[in-house]
């Protein structure tokens, strides 16, 4: 008991410098960054009250919001009278909630994990349950939810062996976190095993599969984007570089330049991960290639070599306009990003060697021969050249990507059944 009290005190002391850093990351103005405005007060537990929502669903940012959309839609289809409050930490996450869910849900920014902030939020809103996407665990959230009788459930949770080893170095802290969860929906059996190894009760952890496979894609939107492609750049070969980070844009430009030795009409689309880097990437491209910026409605002309996708919320459209994807965040220790949207649209993918954040998805796509990873850029160029030039090989990889996604769908229904079962019983 005393040990847990000391851990709690130390944790809250360490939160103070952490809060200063969080405020800098969230609020410091940068070019292209979405501002919070007066709604920043919601991070401190202030803002408009939501009257006792049936579910408080926390999705920290864009990726988690996209993943939770099918779950929310199915929940409201089965329980149309339920009130759902979705919180995000980031402003871009909030934009995604508005764009994908509209007025079906209420949105607030999530409170910081300081006792006054989360305490005020909980006492004011009084949610019946808290569902957390993936593994966004905060000690004070869990402690106060337990004190107020609010069950906390973890959805689509991942815990790699590497992360589990880190948790075990702080076993008492990990136990404090995991013992306060009433249910964990782990993505796969190895995730389940790792949660149990770190102290979660075995009867509270269930392997449900990944709900990220249950993508909610609008076929009309996809067809419209494909028509736009045909109208703008006809049958040009198109490579899309997704979610690039600083240092990777040059790699993408170099790959495209080498590919043009045999594919003179190649169009490279670059989608930077962070909007504050849009101008920086434009400045990088300008002396090396002719390019157009999507934000400025500049057309893709016959001599355009690079299309800079410097807008938000249009990745699905851009993927539908492309042939092959190359994944950012994999050429350094970022750990990669989600392969599933390109795969669901039939795009084979190449990436660098560092995709440890999505190893299970990566493994399945590699096994299906729809994804190639390598630290050797020349190997990636050879694979891209093969796919662009051999239509039969490309078609096989495209179909393999689609089939991999389809074979893993169904986790949303399993997860939702487990989440609402005890609320109805």
Q: Is the dihedral of CA 58, 343, 334, 225 positive or negative?
A: negative
Decide: residue 102, CB within 10 A, 0-12 exposed, 13-18 middle, 19+ buried. Answer: exposed
Residue 274: φ, ψ to 5°: -115, 130
Backbone φ, ψ for residue 318 (5° rounding):
-70, -35
Whether 64 sits among the annotated catalytic residues: the reply is yes
The partner residues of 57 in beta bridges, in order of sequence, read 86, 131
User: Residue 228 is encoded by which pair of tokens?
Assistant: 């736009």
Rounded alpha-carbon distances, angstroms, from residue 39 to 45, 47, 63:
10, 7, 21
The three-class DSSP label of residue 268 is: strand
| CA 40/CA 113 separation, integer angstroms | 15
* 415, 157 contact by CB (below 8 A): no
d(CA 242, CA 336) in angstroms, rounded, equals 10
How far is 127 from 55, CA to CA, in rounded Å? Answer: 6
Q: Which of 353, 376, 371 is nearest to 361 (CA)?
A: 371
Distance, CA of 6 to CA of 169 (rounded, Å):
17
Both tokens of residue 135?
């593994």
Buried b (16+ CB within 10 A) or exposed e, 225-240: beeebeebbeeebbbb
**Among candidate residues 109, 23, 67, the one with its CA nearest the CA of residue 209:** 67
- Active-site residue (options: 42, 64, 96, 134): 64
Q: Which helix (H) or strand (E) holds 239?
A: strand 238-244
Tokens of 287: 């002396």
Q: Which two tokens stand for residue 240?
A: 């899309």
Residues paired with residue 325 on neighbouring β-strands, in sequence order: 240, 349
Residue with tokens 């337990």: 146
Catalytic residue annotation: 64
């Amino acid at each position: 008991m005393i040990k847990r009290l000391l851990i709690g005190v130390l944790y809250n002391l360490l939160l103070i410098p952490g809060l200063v850093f969080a405020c800098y990351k969230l609020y410091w103005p940068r070019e292209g960054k979405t501002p919070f405005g007066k709604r920043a007060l919601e991070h401190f537990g202030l803002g408009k009250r939501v009257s006792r929502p049936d579910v408080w669903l926390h999705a920290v940012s864009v990726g988690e919001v996209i993943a939770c959309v099918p779950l929310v839609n199915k929940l409201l289809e089965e329980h149309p009278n339920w009130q759902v409050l979705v919180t995000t930490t980031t402003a871009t996450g909030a934009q995604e909630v508005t764009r994908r869910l509209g007025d079906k849900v209420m949105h607030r920014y999530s409170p910081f994990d300081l006792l006054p902030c989360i305490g005020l939020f909980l006492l004011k809103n009084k949610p019946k349950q808290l569902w957390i996407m993936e593994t966004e665990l905060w000690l004070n959230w869990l402690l106060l939810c337990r004190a107020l009788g609010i069950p906390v459930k973890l959805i689509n949770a991942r815990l790699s062996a590497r992360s589990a080893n880190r948790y075990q170095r702080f076993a008492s802290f990990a136990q404090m976190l995991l013992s306060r969860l009433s249910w964990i929906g782990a993505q796969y059996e190895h995730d389940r095993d790792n949660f149990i190894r770190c102290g979660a009760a075995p009867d509270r952890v269930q392997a449900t599969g990944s709900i990220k496979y249950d993508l909610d894609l609008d076929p009309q939107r996809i067809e419209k984007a494909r028509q736009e492609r045909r109208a703008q750049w006809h049958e040009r070969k198109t490579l899309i570089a997704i979610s690039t980070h600083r240092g990777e844009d040059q790699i993408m430009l170099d790959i495209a330049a080498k590919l043009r030795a045999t594919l003179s009409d190649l169009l490279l689309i670059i989608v930077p991960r962070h909007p504050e880097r849009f101008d920086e990437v434009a400045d990088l491209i300008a002396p090396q290639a002719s390019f157009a910026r999507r934000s400025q409605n500049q057309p893709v002309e016959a001599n355009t070599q690079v299309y800079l996708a410097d807008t938000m919320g249009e990745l699905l459209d851009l993927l539908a306009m492309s042939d092959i994807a190359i994944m950012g965040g994999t050429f350094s220790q970022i750990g990669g990003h989600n392969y599933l949207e390109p795969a669901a649209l039939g795009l084979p993918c190449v990436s660098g060697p560092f995709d440890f954040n999505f190893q299970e998805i990566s493994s399945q796509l590699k096994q299906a021969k729809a994804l190639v990873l390598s630290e050797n850029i020349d190997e990636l160029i050879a694979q891209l050249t093969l796919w662009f030039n051999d239509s039969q090989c490309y078609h096989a990889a495209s179909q393999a990507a689609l089939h991999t996604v389809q074979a893993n769908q169904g986790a949303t229904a399993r997860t939702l059944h487990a989440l609402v079962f005890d609320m109805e019983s």
